[in-house]
Structure 1
Amino acid sequence: MHYDTLCCIISIYTVNISKRGEENIRILDYLYPSRCPVCGDIISPRQHIVCPGCVNTFQVIKEPKCLKCGKPLEQEEQEYCFDCTKINYHYNRGYALWVYDKNVRKSIANFKFHNRREYSKYYIQEILHYYKKEIITISPEVLIPVPLHKSKLKERGFNQADLLARGIGESVGIPVVEDYLMRCNKTKAQKRLNDRERAKNLYGAFEVNPSYSTAPFAKVMLVDDIYTTGSTIDACAEVLLRTGVKEIYFISLSIGKGY
């Protein structure tokens, strides 16, 4: 389609959006069709949020899994993963949806770095399908998305953890406080660092927004997209404990293996 023709169609759509409602939304769907969060192709049928053939591609974490961080384990008799047996994390417990393999890694990368915000619909749907009961049972007072540094937020245009938190919060009736935690230092990408470098990289990276420091919540749940060694979640938890939070849980879209 010629560029000028496309611009004309978009202009007509913008002018008439208040008049023609759903019909205009359908036009926009055809101009900018949603893509599958698994394979990346245009979704068919269009009313779905994932291709029917892609539904079972990602590995859902099942038992046995770590009683602390939720990583999958090899042996039934194991209670904790290798990391959780050697590190005294500051949070109480965590839950994760998928194993962080090459398929999930590609999907999340497109979500974050190629502005595929529509993927969040599928992510949120699956988190709620598997963990809604656990979230309601824990009953945190608020959901707190792991923050991005302001420079990265400006560059990306959105915080992926905030999108996930809002979708979860709306479903279970728990408020989201997106600015409760602040990322005060611009850190290096964690994936390029070893365990010791990760901890050093995150030292002093987070702080509680001064607006909330005098009235902390007693029980909170952190929300993030990826949990690998746990350094980021733990750095957030440590800061929260220092300001009076008593119980800290987390929910993550994906997590590495516990072996």
Structure 2
Amino acid sequence: MSIIRRAMDVMLPQRCTVCSSLAVPREEVITRLPDGMALCFDCMSDLAPMPEDKRWMLCLSEPYSGDPIPSLTLYMPFKYDGFFSRAVPAMKFQGKSQIAEFMGMLLGNMLKEDSVEADLIVSVPLSEERLRERGYNQAELIASAASKVVGIPAARDVLMRVKDTERQTSLADKAGRGSNVDRAFMVREGWDIADVRIILIDDVATTGHTLHSAAETLFAAGARNVLCCAVCGNRYSTNDEVF
């Protein structure tokens, strides 16, 4: 490192992108970071995934009789606490899109470690209004970064949101969350996903209703298989077997 760079680091030390604490110097960070991102020691020390047998579960936290896809699987490698409970709000509401890229790298590494295979990666879309407010779709950025790690192509425009829903986190009861996203998506004209194996990505999963609704749409359009995937969530119950 140049003398000028060292002097700059002393006078203007980098701050953690997630929590604004003093960041670890970039050359000392083992984990690859996106451009413009820095992490403090606490955030870097808080990235451990859940054990392998706890990363797989049914997509819906409360399965119901008559579900057309009752065995729909959710892959979720991280808990929504510690680093992720700080990073997700910063990513969504503070304009820190580089966090989404970093989460995609983490997710891609986990998918690779667990030998997950597919033909296409699809992200859960935002409504046009929310996309304008935020300036980017964090799920799309996560999917793009994960795609580069696992070598599976990502398509940003397969799904579109046709129902401008309320934020899921603003709805207290699980039934309300389900009806909120019912028939909220459609496959864009021109896409043929018949017999395609899809990884469907969102940033966070709680009840699983958003991913479930989007997966229903993909299956209705002919997808052979859909694996729902969220970077993190606050559900820790697992199925009796790993799918």
Q: TM-score, normalised by structure 1?
A: 0.73
Q: Which runs of 5+ in 2 are unaligned?
A: 30-37, 238-243
Larger of the two Rg values belongs to structure: 1
Using a 3 Å threshold, how does the CA distance of structure 1 residues 102 and 56 change in structure 2: closer, same or farther? closer
State how 1:216-227 maps to structure 2 within 5 Å: 216-227=194-205
Out of 17, 29, 52, the position equivalent to 2:41 is 52
* CA distance, structure 1, for counterparts of residue 175 and residue 148 of structure 2: 37
* CA distance, structure 2, for counterparts of residue 244 and residue 32 of structure 1: 52
1:143–1:222 CA contact under 8 A, matched in 2: yes
Using a 3 Å threshold, how does the CA distance of structure 1 residues 124 and 115 change in structure 2: closer, same or farther? same
Out of 146, 160, 181, the position equivalent to 2:138 is 160
Using a 3 Å threshold, how does the CA distance of structure 1 residues 108 and 209 change in structure 2: closer, same or farther? same
2:49–2:78 CA contact under 8 A, matched in 1: yes
Using a 3 Å threshold, how does the CA distance of structure 1 residues 251 and 240 change in structure 2: closer, same or farther? same
- Is 2:186 the partner of 1:197? no
* CA distance, structure 1, for counterparts of residue 119 and residue 129 of structure 2: 29
1:68–1:84 CA contact under 8 A, matched in 2: no
Using a 3 Å threshold, how does the CA distance of structure 1 residues 42 and 122 change in structure 2: closer, same or farther? farther
Aligned residue type for 2:43: C
Using a 3 Å threshold, how does the CA distance of structure 1 residues 69 and 239 change in structure 2: closer, same or farther? same
1:157-179: per-residue Cα shift (whole Å, max 9, x none)? Answer: 11101111111111222111111
**Structure 1 partner of 2:51:** 62
Q: Which runs of 4+ in 1 moved over 4 A?
A: 30-34, 84-89
1:70-127: per-residue Cα shift (whole Å, max 9, x none)? Answer: 8xxxxxxxxxx96358784736422112212365233101111111122234323322
Structure 1 vs Structure 2: percent identity of aligned residues? 24
* CA distance, structure 2, for counterparts of residue 87 and residue 43 of structure 1: 50
Aligned residue type for 2:16: R
**Structure 2 partner of 1:35:** 16
Q: CA deviation at 1:218?
A: 1.8
Aligned residue type for 2:45: N
Q: CA deviation at 1:36?
A: 3.6
* CA distance, structure 1, for counterparts of residue 56 and residue 66 of structure 2: 14
* CA distance, structure 1, for counterparts of residue 23 and residue 229 of structure 2: 27
- Report the count of equivalent residues: 219
Aligned residue type for 1:238: E
1:34–1:118 CA contact under 8 A, matched in 2: no
* CA distance, structure 2, for counterparts of residue 180 and residue 235 of structure 1: 14
Q: TM-score, normalised by structure 2?
A: 0.77
2:14–2:22 CA contact under 8 A, matched in 1: yes
Q: Which runs of 5+ in 1 are unaligned?
A: 1-22, 71-80
Of stretches 83-92 and 190-199 in structure 1, the one that deviates more from structure 2 is 83-92
- Is 2:112 the partner of 1:132? yes
2:46–2:82 CA contact under 8 A, matched in 1: no
Q: CA deviation at 1:154?
A: 1.2
Aligned residue type for 2:179: K
